[in-house]
Structure 1
Amino acid sequence: MSITLPEGGSVPKPEGGAVPKKRKFNRFVNNPVIEDYSLRYAPKSFRTWSQYAVFSAALGGIAYLADQAIGGSLAVQYGFTNAFYGILAAATVIFLTGIPIAYYCAKYNVDVDLLTRGAGFGYLGSTITSVIYASFTFIFFALEGSIMAQAFLLYFGLPLPYGYALASLLIIPLVAFGMTLLSKLQVWTQPVWLFLLFSPPIAVLAVDPHAISQWTSFAGSSPSGTAFNPLLFGAAAGIALSLIAQIGEQADYLRFMPDKTKQNSIGWWLAVLGAGPGWVILGAAKQLMGSFFASVAFNHGTPLAKANEPIQMYHAGFTAMFGAGMVAISVATFFVVLSQIKINVTNAYSGSLSWSNFFSRLLHAHPGRIVYIFLNIGISLTLMEANMFSFLGKILGFYSNVAVAWIGAVVADLVINKPLLKLSPSYIEFKRAHLYNFNPVGFGSMVIASIISVAAFFGLFGAYAAAFSSFIALGVAFVASPIIAIATKGKYYIAREATYAAGVDHSTLNCVSCGYEYEKQDMTSCPFHAGSICSLCCSLDSDCGDMCKQPHAAPVLSYGTPPVV
């Protein structure tokens, strides 16, 4: 027996004639302001922000001082010359790899987790990248929280363990309401933050004409002094490359971009490039600023071991503006706290999205994005209490190998396998019903690149391979992806043809499982439920056995054809 659906076509009833249970979500999942379509395509009806608002919110998300801390640490550890060229090399790689990711996320209105699924990793294959991305958010939340706690210690005398807890608790109420509140927070605070960011270096240069020469001759604790050393340059670039996963946080904003049209094409591209890969232009400038301020702080009496702390840097900077005293330290503390709030709401928000994706696929349950805010912040607080700031370079150096391998595999799929080899679909398919669980193209190339680069990082292939292990990760992933795509003839991308009108049709359908209405791009036809089902209900179903992808499954409904890019 079969059931005829409103869209036309027919599907079989589940075995035994049993009717699958209707799914009910809790109030957090049902509230779009709180949930923010965390596991879904962002529908046009929800994307009400202008290009400028998305651009400004995305740039506000990089208001962190980790750049300054990293730049200062590199200058202290490797000296000015190696830090300078390492920062520029890493920024170039990050900018180029960020372009295709930003474009596809903005065009198809998906976050980096959903993008990864359709860029060669498969439905379950991308779970590991969800953890990689979640690791980025809690590592940098911990780093930013540590920086805020250092400011609390200097200004209020609050011991670091209590400062870590306060820095974490401040974020929870701000991030609970997602993009709706985050966009306003970032826009409102942007002018003040920009003024406080750029005025101290100008003031330092005005009162100390020797500051630049002292910076360029700053050797820190480098064994090579200020001379260029390939090994130290490679190590510095590798640490800076740990920030490559920041494009994921930018994509969490870019998925809310309005549709690209002929009328808004120029502004759309400027917003995507500026808020996407463009973050690293400001990021690299901030890292160089951090190396500059480490020199300034050291030359004004700060111990070398503390010269990489942003609160020390900006205390020295604002002292040049206001003179020694409470005004300088008060403004420096305000700036540090403001910066850390602006970034850690983004870290907590992005981490909640990534953990939601991870657990929904493994456990077939979704209590709501807001629940995972507490998980992400809890892990971050644990890292802070373990004093991760003291071994920052080692953590970031190791992490960058895996993060670069992931990004390299995704970019290779987007720029080679899709447009050139045409073995990968031209569009982004993220729904469980249409994907194989594992695609060896992206997943395999990332694993291979990670294993080789991590082995290199720990010295298995010699000193030079250890110094340039992150670049090895990028190169191996970029080469392995198209090779595996050719070897498998791209057959593991799509398990079943798409049944939605992607990119053009914003009409809606009711989900047969939860009963709510979603745009067709978030829907598929389901033989188990005998109707149209939304992507989240499809992800959470633990009883269907993926019957829609089995060879004997009845033909599925057609809601349109995938777009041609």
Structure 2
Amino acid sequence: MSPETKLDQPSVVARPASIPTRSSSADVPVTAENTTKGGEDFSLRFAPRHYRKWTPAVVASSALGGIAYLADFSIGATIGVTHGTGNAIGGILIAAVLIFISSFPLAYYAARYNVDMDLITRGAGFGYLGSILTNLIFVSFTFILFATEGAIMAQGLKVGFGLPLWAGYAVSSLMIIPLVIYGMKILAKLQSWTNPLWLVLMILPMAYLLFSEPETVGTFLSYAGESGEGVNFASMMLAAGVCLSLTAQIAENIDYLRFMPPKTPENARSWWTAVIMGGPGWVILGAAKQIVGVFLAVYIIARLGQGTDLAIEPVNQFLSLYSEMMPHWLAVALAVFLVVVSQIKINTTNAYCGSLAWTNIYSRTFNRYPGRVLFVLLNVGISLALMEFNMFQVLGFVLSFYSNFAIAWIFTVAADIVFNKYLLKLSPKQPEFRRGMLFNVNPVGVVSLVLSGAISVAMFFGAFGEGIAAFSPLFAALIAVVVTPLAAIVTKGAYYLRRQDDGIDLPMFDEHGNPSDATLECALTGEIVERPDMIASAVPGPNGEKQYVSSLALTLDKSGKHVLPPN
């Protein structure tokens, strides 16, 4: 991102990391160093206005760059081979509609209030510590998808260079680490630079095939799958269950959307376009890729006579496609190159977002911040282990099982925003994430997640009969949407806010409703922090004056003495 895209920003610079804690308590291990170490990308906190230098278009393109994964082609191919083209397309479209609807309010909140999925979840029914449960769901998504993409890259390296799969798994994992360590600035440039090349490699071969062999369309539409079953709703829902495992993708997009510039009358149109396309709009491209995956699988099986195992491997799909229009050596080179570029684009995002989720879990559990880099290594390590255990061979089952939890989480948060915040007005409209302002656990979101997740998983394993098992993702969404507002009504919204007032007299928002860029000094670290990320301290200053503490410093305050009392 170029310097020309900078927005006006306050001339405030955080103090050097060597500033010691200004707390008089020796048992509060909070310093400017451990609150800003890795804070270059504001991994645990509100994204301040002075850091958000990018235009809406650049943020949206960066968010969309993260969906370059090839797993969509494998997912589409898998459900197409199993259920046939008609059921596969029906399931893909059902999943796309549900994902778009549930993702929209989350994308808006992230862009409008500059907070990530964890910070949104805290104030949308889960509480300060309750959202750790959803972080575990999200971090599982990042390493499952990382392992899937890493396995696809290893397949490409085997085709192109004869590298054994186990070695390919290691290469595809370790090469991501240095790219992720430096956060949003490097990731945004990587996504922006590689997007055009990726699109050319994807679109041109498909256009060539449709032009040179138009009869493949008829073969594709008539394909009935291995079971030979006709088009029916149950099969569509089985297909949709696999696709719905990607519901949690919006949480990765949000890690980019939180860097959107303030929304003003002058940029309202471009702002909304970027939010929709970079947020729920990802599923339009995702669904298209899944349908193309079905098409390529059918082409490989019906037209080229290859087996289903090869038909679901993206590297073989594109190798077969390229081989129809160029020499084999060039087809191999381009297929491998496409796989490598796609894997780098998505797995940098997976590792980055996973490290944020792990860091959030650890910092709130232990009141310590060891740095995000440690959790990059942890997330990549778990992903590598899954690859070595050959998770790719049972990908459909893993994604179908996981989708129940992902849907329960995303639909619970979306229902809280839509129903509890806007319609029932039982939940605070603006997202609240600061320690001391929230109860540790809010039963509204926790109960909804546990009920919808547990019931849908039991249904998935046939506890309510085999005939209804296919509809477990649909029931996960339905239960979450019903239980979330019901729980808020039963509790009368009493567990959302521990306090109504954060003790700061400055307004939280500017004249356009954007988070304010006014700044205050943190009493614990001495750094200068923007108003939305600050809260008053319960401990007065040396002369009895009011002091302020940043949200991250308060998170790391083991003593708890700076936390304001409830009111």
Compute the TM-score of the two structures, normalised by the length of structure 1. 0.91
Distance 2:508 2:249 in 1: 27
Deviates more, 1:458-467 or 1:424-433: 458-467
Distance 2:333 2:291 in 1: 24
**Structure 2 matches for 1:56-455, cutoff 5 A?**
56-224=61-229, 227-298=230-301, 299-323=303-327, 325-455=328-458
Q: Which amino acid aligns with 2:306?
A: T
1:485 is aligned to 488
Give a deviation string over 1:496-544, Cα, whole Å, max 9, x none. 1242533322111111112211101101012147521110111112211
Give a deviation string over 1:167-192, Cα, whole Å, max 9, x none. 00111111111110111111111111
For the aligned residue pairs, the C-alpha RMSD in angstroms reads 1.6
Structure 2 SS opposite 1:380: helix
2:552 is aligned to 536
Distance 1:369 1:157 in 2: 35
Give a deviation string over 1:285-343, Cα, whole Å, max 9, x none. 000011111111223133112211000110111112214x1011111110111011111
CA positional deviation for 1:31: 5.1
Structure 2 SS opposite 1:234: helix
Distance 1:146 1:498 in 2: 50
Give a deviation string over 1:424-466, Cα, whole Å, max 9, x none. 0010001111000111111111111111111111101112321
CA positional deviation for 1:18: 5.5
Alignment counterpart, residue 525 of structure 2, candidates 511, 514, 533: 514
Distance 2:531 2:34 in 1: 23
CA contact (8 A) 1:231 1:467 kept: yes
Distance 1:26 1:297 in 2: 56
CA contact (8 A) 1:28 1:368 kept: no
Distance 1:212 1:290 in 2: 13
1:525 is aligned to 536
CA contact (8 A) 1:511 1:518 kept: yes
Deviates more, 1:206-215 or 1:18-27: 18-27
| Alignment size in residue pairs | 530
Compute the TM-score of the two structures, normalised by the length of structure 2. 0.91
Work out the percentage of aligned pairs sharing the same amino acid.
48
Alignment counterpart, residue 503 of structure 1, candidates 504, 509, 519: 509
Structure 2 SS opposite 1:496: coil
| Cα distance change of structure 1 residues 111 and 266 upon mapping to structure 2, 3 Å threshold | same
Distance 1:91 1:168 in 2: 29
Q: Which amino acid aligns with 1:304?
A: T
Distance 2:28 2:140 in 1: 35
CA contact (8 A) 2:122 2:131 kept: yes
Distance 1:351 1:93 in 2: 24
CA positional deviation for 1:106: 0.3
Alignment counterpart, residue 24 of structure 1, candidates 24, 31, 41: 31
CA contact (8 A) 1:29 1:369 kept: no
Q: Which amino acid aligns with 1:51?
A: P
| Cα distance change of structure 1 residues 430 and 330 upon mapping to structure 2, 3 Å threshold | same
CA positional deviation for 1:223: 4.6
Distance 2:28 2:248 in 1: 39
Give a deviation string over 1:54-112, Cα, whole Å, max 9, x none. 01111111111111110011111211111110000000000111110000010000010
| Cα distance change of structure 1 residues 302 and 27 upon mapping to structure 2, 3 Å threshold | farther
